[in-house]
């Protein structure tokens, strides 16, 4: 589904991603871990199409198409979804309000008719239940005055509405208490099937008890320096990153 | 031509126009005084602090044929085109500055008296002569004086005490510049009695592409405990210049709101002055300008708190594209006697191009010590993070942009209490944000 080869990206002439290689197949869950500032969010942003980053080398293919050629909205319409690490506030724009436009533009791209108001509402109700989010929250200005947990649940709600092929969850678990974490994980697991894939970026092994990954990768200094199974996450939880850093820094 | 020569030519033209006026009415003395003031003071110079960013005198360089009345071909369909859905109003129509009884629709309403200014002047209406200039007493603006000197027509409206006027009163000012340039000096004089309630709209539009200039003054006297809303909608064409002065005097416990929507025009200068001259008053000033091309829109507002326990609240927002220019100057005076005043002011702008500009300046002068005042101005670009967020959900760049701009503008539109107007503005602005911007 997603094939990233030797991907380099910089911002303001500073190279952040220094040759990422990663393949994600349909039905898989990949976890990306790594110390602060290693480039996890940068990778997520580059995949989602943020224009501030300049891709200087490498390629990324999504469903056989050149992902890097596409504008952010095209990627979303093709089925890439990014749950933001820090969802922003947009005064005056409610989730309901922009999701309706978003969903219909995605549907149009797929050659589907727009949803009428009734079907849209029905779909909303269904997805709201999944992440246990209240309708009143969705009709308020996006993220304005939302708690941390509400912001994250809202991201997963949007994911549920759009039913993407590839979901990238950037620290969706950070700052969540255990109840909120379970709700988010349950949402993600319910949406999972053999045709879609998930990349979870996280600092905490805890999430991986609920969303069980097929692969765990460690990103450090802009490269994937170690990959393994979910046992790697447990090892990291126990030993931290220093041993990996030492290994890597010794070879440079 | 040198500037000095140009200016003397303008004054000469104004003189011709002034001399052509009928001088037999009692009102002529008032005109004369105002005209003397202009001859003595001259027209505003760009060095004049009040007109620093807006060279208004240049408008008059367009050599409007001063003595000739311009013909027009404005009919019912033109007026109907301006009446948006659901707008049920008492209608006064002015074409090239002149009242048109034929196109107006004035319903007999208890407590409401409507006359044209032209008629009030001609008939030496004593009530008109007594009220005229009351609100503008302390106004030293040259263009307000020019209006007094040259006023042709307009509306004289009085609302008796304890009268609730159900239907809003809409004043349509349509200029037809198809065949000729035109220059009008319209005036409205409005007096709202004690405990009364009334809403007004001033709607401006132009036909044809010759240069035109409107120098309009509206005086509003708001008596004790009266309530009112005043909506100004400026949607002229690119060659239409407009100077509009709204002068409001509020007495005790009155609540008055003004709304200024500028959608298009050449040079637009709005002077809004409110004397909050009573205890327990509320004054709201809302403004929204959504402009592109070469439109220049300047809003100068002043809230003068004279007595204690009143509040004023101001919110002006602007979206500018292309080479559009915006100016905002918001003065708040709190006199020494005006203790316990609450005064809030905010001006926010979004610039959509590198070539659009805004000059914004809050000006608070406070002599009382027990007051709550705040102000804030921001000018910036569209929030790139928000744009990316929406695009990452599948919204096209155009839709995302329009949605964000609309969200920015809606705060002002939402404050409109007149439902059909609110719907109209919602519609016209969202359409424009998708198309032009
Ligand atoms: N807009 C920017 N301008 C300059 N440097 C940036 C910018 N965004 C990110 N960086 C830098 O890029 C590097 C990688 O940042 P990134 O946010 O991708 O890290 P991360 O792995 O997601 O970290 P965290 O775990 O703290 O979320 C950091 O050194 C960061 O300072
Ligand atoms: Mg990050």
- Report whether residue A40 contacts ligand 1, using a CB cutoff of 6 Å: yes
Query: How many residues does this entry show for chain A?
Result: 252
**pLDDT the model gives residue B1:** 55
Question: Is the pLDDT assigned to residue B410 strictly greater than 80?
Answer: yes
- Report whether residue A223 contacts ligand 1, using a CB cutoff of 6 Å: no
Angle in degrees, 0-180, between the axes of helices B384-391 and B397-413, rounded to the nearest 10: 120
β-strand pairing of B372-380 with B342-351: parallel
- Report whether residue A11 contacts ligand 1, using a CB cutoff of 6 Å: yes
Chain B residues with CB-CB distance to A101 below 8 A:
395, 399, 403
Q: Which of B383, B391, B411 sits opposite A72 (nearest CB)?
A: B391
Q: Distance of CA B289 to CAs B158, B294, B321, B330, B406, Å?
A: 30, 13, 11, 15, 12
Q: 């909303």: which residue's tokens?
A: A124
The alpha carbon of residue B105 and the mean position of all alpha carbons in its chain are separated, in whole angstroms, by: 23
**pLDDT the model gives residue B435:** 74
Rounded Cα distance, A53 and A56, in Å: 9
Q: 């009446």: which residue's tokens?
A: B83
Using a CB–CB cut-off of 8 Å, the residues of A that contact B are 48-52, 71-73, 75-77, 81-82, 84, 87-88, 90-93, 97-99, 101-103, 105-106, 109, 158, 162
- Band of pLDDT at residue B412, cut at 50, 70 and 90: very high
Is the Cβ of B406 closer than 8 Å to some Cβ of chain A?
yes
- Report whether residue A13 contacts ligand 1, using a CB cutoff of 6 Å: no
β-strand pairing of B240-250 with B212-222: parallel
Rounded Cα distance, B256 and B144, in Å: 22
- Band of pLDDT at residue B131, cut at 50, 70 and 90: very high
Nearest-CA residue of chain B relative to A142?
Answer: B386
B262-309 pLDDT per residue, tens = 999 999 999 999 999 999 999 999 999 999 999 999 999 999 999 999
Chain B residues with CB-CB distance to A76 below 8 A:
391-394
Question: Is the pLDDT assigned to residue A119 strictly greater than 90?
Answer: yes
Contact B266, B298 (CB under 8 A): no
Contacts of B199 (CB under 8 A, 6+ apart): B165, B168, B169, B228, B229, B230, B231, B417, B418
- Report whether residue A51 contacts ligand 1, using a CB cutoff of 6 Å: no
Q: Which of A144, A188, A165 is nearest to A81 (CA)?
A: A165
**pLDDT the model gives residue A142:** 95
**pLDDT the model gives residue B49:** 87
Degrees to nearest 5, angle at CA A237 with A234 and A240: 130
Q: Which of B49, B48, B71, B44 is nearest to B60 (CA)?
A: B44
Nearest-CA residue of chain B relative to A95?
Answer: B390
What is the distance between the terminal CA atoms of chain B, rounded to a whole angstrom?
38
Question: Is the pLDDT assigned to residue B351 strictly greater than 80?
Answer: yes
- Report whether residue A202 contacts ligand 1, using a CB cutoff of 6 Å: no
Which pTM value belongs to this model?
A: 0.91
Rounded Cα distance, A132 and A138, in Å: 12
The alpha carbon of residue A109 and the mean position of all alpha carbons in its chain are separated, in whole angstroms, by: 21
Alpha carbon of B211 to ligand 1 centroid (Å): 55
Average of per-residue pLDDT across B394-403: 95
**pLDDT the model gives residue B65:** 63
**pLDDT the model gives residue A163:** 95
Q: Which of A210, A166, A137 is nearest to A4 (CA)?
A: A166
Question: Is the pLDDT assigned to residue B4 strictly greater than 80?
Answer: no
For B388, the 3-state DSSP assignment is helix
Degrees to nearest 5, angle at CA B99 with B98 and B100: 115
Q: Between chains, do B394 and A84 touch, taking CB under 8 Å as contact?
A: no
B51-75 pLDDT per residue, tens = 889 888 888 887 776 556 667 888 9
Maximum Cα–Cα distance across chain B: 71
For B347-365, b where at least 16 C-beta lie within 10 A, e where not — what string?
Answer: bbbbbbeeebbbebebebe
- Which numbered ligand comes closest to the C-alpha of B385? 1
**pLDDT the model gives residue B231:** 98
Q: Between chains, do A101 and B388 touch, taking CB under 8 Å as contact?
A: no
Rounded Cα distance, B22 and B154, in Å: 17
A153-181 pLDDT per residue, tens = 999 999 999 999 999 999 999 989 999 99
Question: Is the pLDDT assigned to residue B436 strictly greater than 60?
Answer: no
Chain A residues with CB-CB distance to B412 below 8 A:
none
Q: A111 to chain B nearest CA, in Å?
A: 14
A–B CB contacts, 8 A cutoff, strictly below:
72
**pLDDT the model gives residue A251:** 78
Contact B415, B315 (CB under 8 A): yes
**pLDDT the model gives residue B5:** 76
Run of H or E including B402:
helix B397-413
Rounded Cα distance, B299 and B325, in Å: 11
**By percentage, how much of chain B surpasses pLDDT 90?**
82
- Which numbered ligand comes closest to the C-alpha of A13? 1
Alpha carbon of A211 to ligand 2 centroid (Å): 19
State the average pLDDT for chain B.
94
User: What is the phi/psi pair of residue B178, to 5°?
Assistant: -70, -50
**pLDDT the model gives residue B298:** 98
- Band of pLDDT at residue B181, cut at 50, 70 and 90: confident
**pLDDT the model gives residue A27:** 96
Nearest-CA residue of chain A relative to B406?
Answer: A92
- Report whether residue A41 contacts ligand 1, using a CB cutoff of 6 Å: yes
Which three-class secondary structure string do you get for chain A? CEEEEEEEEEECCEEEEEEEEEEECCCCEEEEECCCCCCHHHHHHHHHCCCCCEEEEEEEEECCEEHHHCCHHHHHHHCEEEECCCCCCEEEEEHHHHHHHHHHHHHHHCCCCCCCHHHHHHHHHHHHHHHCCCHHHHCCEECCCCCHHHHHHHHHHHHHHHCCCEEEEECCCCCCCHHHHHHHHHHHHHHCCCCCEEEEECCCHHHHHHCCCCEEEEEECCEEEEEECHHHHHHHHHHCCHHHHHHHHHHC
B84-100 pLDDT per residue, tens = 999 999 999 999 999 99
Average of per-residue pLDDT across A204-225: 95
Q: Between chains, do A105 and B386 touch, taking CB under 8 Å as contact?
A: no
Query: How many residues does this entry show for chain B?
Result: 437
Contacts of A138 (CB under 8 A, 6+ apart): A94, A95, A96, A99, A124, A128, A154, A157
DSSP 8-state secondary structure symbol assigned to residue B354: T
Alpha carbon of A86 to ligand 2 centroid (Å): 9
* Domain boundaries of chain B, sorted by first residue: 71-381, 382-437
Contact A65, A232 (CB under 8 A): no
**By percentage, how much of chain B surpasses pLDDT 70?**
97
- Report whether residue A12 contacts ligand 1, using a CB cutoff of 6 Å: yes
Is the Cβ of B84 closer than 8 Å to some Cβ of chain A?
no
State the average pLDDT for chain A.
95
Degrees to nearest 5, angle at CA B11 with B5 and B13: 105
Rounded Cα distance, B158 and B191, in Å: 5
- Band of pLDDT at residue B139, cut at 50, 70 and 90: very high
- Band of pLDDT at residue A252, cut at 50, 70 and 90: low
Nearest-CA residue of chain A relative to B389?
Answer: A88
Is the Cβ of B389 closer than 8 Å to some Cβ of chain A?
yes
Range A2-251 classified under CATH 3.40.50.300: yes
Is the Cβ of B367 closer than 8 Å to some Cβ of chain A?
no
User: Tokens in use for A252?
Assistant: 């440079």
Alpha carbon of A158 to ligand 2 centroid (Å): 20
User: Tokens in use for A36?
Assistant: 């602060």
- Report whether residue A36 contacts ligand 1, using a CB cutoff of 6 Å: yes
β-strand pairing of A2-11 with A14-24: antiparallel
Rounded Cα distance, B37 and A186, in Å: 78
Contact A16, A39 (CB under 8 A): yes
Rounded Cα distance, B288 and B269, in Å: 13
Q: Between chains, do B386 and A88 touch, taking CB under 8 Å as contact?
A: yes
* Domain boundaries of chain A, sorted by first residue: 2-251
């Amino acid at each position: 589904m997603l094939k990233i080869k030797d991907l380099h990206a910089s911002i303001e002439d500073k190279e952040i991603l220094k040759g990422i290689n990663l393949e994600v197949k349909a039905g898989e869950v990949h976890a990306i871990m790594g110390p602060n500032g290693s480039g996890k969010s940068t990778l997520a942003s580059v995949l989602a199409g943020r224009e501030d980053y300049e891709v200087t080398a490498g390629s990324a293919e999504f469903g056989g198409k050149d992902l890097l050629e596409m504008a952010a909205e095209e990627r979303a319409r093709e089925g890439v979804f990014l749950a933001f690490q820090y969802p922003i506030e947009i005064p005056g724009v409610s989730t309901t309000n922009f999701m309706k436009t978003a969903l219909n533009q995605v549907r149009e791209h797929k050659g589907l008719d727009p949803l009428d108001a009734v079907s849209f509402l029905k779909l909303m109700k269904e997805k709201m239940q999944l992440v246990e989010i209240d309708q009143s929250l969705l009709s308020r200005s996006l993220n304005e005055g939302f708690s941390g947990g509400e912001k994250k649940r809202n991201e997963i709600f949007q994911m549920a509405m759009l039913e993407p092929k590839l979901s990238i969850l950037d620290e969706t678990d950070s700052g969540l208490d255990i109840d909120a974490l379970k709700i988010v994980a349950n949402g993600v697991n319910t949406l999972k099937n053999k045709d879609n894939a998930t990349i979870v970026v996280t600092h905490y092994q805890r999430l991986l008890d609920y969303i069980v990954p097929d692969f765990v990768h460690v990103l450090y200094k802009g490269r994937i320096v170690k990959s393994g199974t979910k046992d790697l996450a447990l090892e990291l939880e126990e030993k931290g990153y220093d041993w990996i850093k030492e290994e890597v820094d010794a070879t440079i | 031509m040198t500037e000095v020569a140009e200016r003397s030519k303008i004054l000469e033209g104004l003189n011709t126009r002034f001399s052509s006026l009928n001088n037999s009415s009692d009102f002529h003395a008032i005109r004369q005084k105002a005209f003397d003031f202009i001859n003595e003071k001259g027209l505003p110079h760009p060095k004049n602090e009040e007109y620093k960013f807006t060279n208004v005198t240049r408008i008059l360089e367009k050599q409007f044929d001063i003595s000739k009345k311009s013909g027009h071909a404005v009919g019912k369909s033109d007026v109907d085109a301006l009446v948006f859905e659901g707008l049920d109003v008492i209608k006064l129509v002015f074409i090239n500055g002149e009242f048109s009884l034929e196109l107006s629709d004035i319903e007999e309403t208890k407590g409401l008296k409507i006359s044209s200014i032209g008629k009030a002047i001609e008939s030496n209406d004593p009530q008109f002569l007594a009220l005229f200039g009351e609100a503008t007493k302390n106004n030293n603006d040259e263009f307000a004086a020019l209006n007094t000197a040259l006023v042709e027509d307009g509306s004289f409206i009085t609302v008796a005490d304890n009268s609730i006027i159900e239907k809003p009163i809409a004043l349509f000012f349509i200029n037809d510049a198809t065949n000729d340039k035109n220059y009008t000096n319209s005036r409205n004089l409005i007096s709202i009695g004690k405990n009364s309630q009334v809403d007004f709209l001033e709607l401006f539009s132009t036909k044809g592409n010759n240069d035109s200039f409107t120098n309009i003054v509206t005086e509003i006297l708001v008596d004790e405990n009266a309530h009112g809303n005043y909506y100004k909608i400026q949607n002229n064409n690119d060659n239409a210049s407009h100077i509009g002065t709204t002068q409001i005097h509020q007495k005790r416990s009155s609540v008055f709101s003004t709304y200024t929507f500028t959608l298009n025009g050449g040079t637009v200068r709005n002077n809004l002055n409110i004397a909050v001259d009573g205890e327990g008053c509320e004054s709201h000033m809302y403004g929204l300008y959504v402009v592109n091309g070469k439109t220049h829109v300047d809003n100068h507002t002043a809230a003068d708190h004279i007595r204690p326990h009143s509040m004023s609240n101001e919110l002006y927002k602007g979206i500018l594209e292309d080479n559009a220019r915006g100016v905002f100057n918001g003065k708040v005076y709190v006199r020494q006697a005006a203790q316990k005043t609450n005064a809030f002011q905010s001006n926010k702008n979004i610039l959509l191009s590198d070539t659009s500009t805004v000059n914004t300046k809050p000006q608070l002068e406070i002599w009382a010590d027990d007051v709550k005042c705040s102000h804030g101005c921001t000018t910036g670009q569209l929030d790139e993070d928000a744009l990316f967020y929406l695009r990452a959900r599948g919204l096209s760049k155009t839709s995302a942009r329009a949605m964000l701009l609309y969200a920015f503008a809606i705060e002002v539109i939402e404050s409109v209490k007149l439902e059909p107007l609110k719907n109209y503005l919602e519609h016209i602005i969202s359409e424009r944000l998708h198309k032009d911007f």
